Amino acid sequence: MFRLQGSKVLAVGMTGDAVKAKNGSMVAYDGRMDFKKLSGGGEGLRGMVTRRITGEQMTLMEVKGEGTCYFADRASEINLVALHGDKLYVESSNLLCAEASLRTGTSFTGLRGGASGTGLFTTTVEGSGQVAIMSDGPAVVLRVTPQYPLSVDPGAYVAHQGGLRQTFQSGVSFRTLLGEGGGEAFQIRFEGDGLVYVQPSERNTVGGEV
């Protein structure tokens, strides 16, 4: 069972079951726990091969035992997401912990602008269970409907779920409009029906700081 201790520590109570967590994110535990590094972070050999091809960096460990394990990473804010047979797309650096029954993998999300032809890949978590994702500052959950599509700065994007179509618009970014930033500017545009998680702080993206 996942529960928050404040907003920056995740407590997971276990009774012989297991969770997948970001490697090195365990800060304390009571009871008896076993730790095992998961190769590549994906599902077996296929996950390892996919990650080598895509460069999507996600190193997970499996924690199994009886007691309570506490997870945190760089004092990031933690958000709990409940999945009910659906799929969550999340930046690999923002995934903290997931129930072991959930499947993790990699999804191709498109090209970062037609000129560069750079592929973008996102970590996926699928099934029924709880997921803990992190954000730099308290995350905001934004609803997307067919009538109201959403454009997001890539540096602020954390995760999304639901029936959303994701495209990339090159040539314009929020900071470019203000005369800031450098490199190839782009936005992520979401259309359809679902939820998008954004953070109030911008990370460096594959295209540099945008």
First-to-last C-alpha distance (Å) of the chain: 38
Q: What is the DSSP code (8-state) at residue 93?
A: G
SS3 letters across 104-128: EEEEEEEECCCCCCCEEEEEEEEEE
Smallest CA-to-CA distance from 105 within 61, 56, 37 is with 56
Q: How far apart are CA 19 and CA 12, in angstroms?
A: 9
- In the chain, pLDDT over 90 holds for what percent of residues? 60
Decide if pLDDT at 88 tops 70: yes
Do residues 121 and 41 touch, judged by C-beta distance below 8 A?
A: no
Pick the more confident residue, 155 or 101.
101
Mean pLDDT, residues 167-183: 60
The pLDDT of residue 122: 82
Decide if pLDDT at 114 tops 70: no
Q: How far apart are CA 163 and CA 49, in angstroms?
A: 28
The pLDDT of residue 110: 60
The pLDDT of residue 96: 96
Q: What is the DSSP code (8-state) at residue 118?
A: -
Decide if pLDDT at 162 tops 90: yes
Q: How far apart are CA 91 and CA 109, in angstroms?
A: 11
The pLDDT of residue 38: 79
The pLDDT of residue 187: 84
Mean of all residue pLDDT scores within the chain = 81
pLDDT in tens, 21-55: 999 999 999 999 999 987 654 444 444 444 444 44
Dihedral angle computed from the Cα positions of residues 175, 180, 181 and 183, in that order, rounded to the nearest 10 degrees: 100
Residue 208 — pLDDT band, cuts 50, 70, 90? very low
Decide if pLDDT at 113 tops 60: no
Give pTM, 2 decimals: 0.81
Query: How distant, in Å, are the alpha carbons of 21, 141, 159, 181, 203 from that of 136?
Result: 18, 14, 13, 20, 9
